[in-house]
Amino acid sequence: MKSKNLGLQLAGTIFGLVAIAHIIRLVTGCPVSICEWLLPIWINVMGAIACGFLSWWLWKLSFQK
């Protein structure tokens, strides 16, 4: 099942990159707006936690037999 493991690792990597992007916004404080609504920072905290967990979980699953 090498293709299954590769798919899990690829998805885990993508979630990891998104978590890093959330963390970068937390550190830099870069403003993000949607139309005229300013995206609050707490959304990035939740996004970093969720994406980081999913990344870790998918990588863990990819190494199970």
Residue 1 has what pLDDT? 59
Q: For the chain, give every domain's residue range.
A: 10-62
Q: Name residues of the chain where pLDDT drops below 50.
A: none
CA distance linking residue 46 with residue 13, whole number of Å: 18
pLDDT digits (tens, 9 = 90+) for 43-60: 999 999 999 999 999 999
Residue 2 has what pLDDT? 78
Give the contacts of 13 (CB within 8 A, at least 6 positions apart): 55
Task: Please report, rounded to a whole number, the percentage of residues in the chain having pLDDT higher than 70.
Answer: 97
pTM for this prediction: 0.87
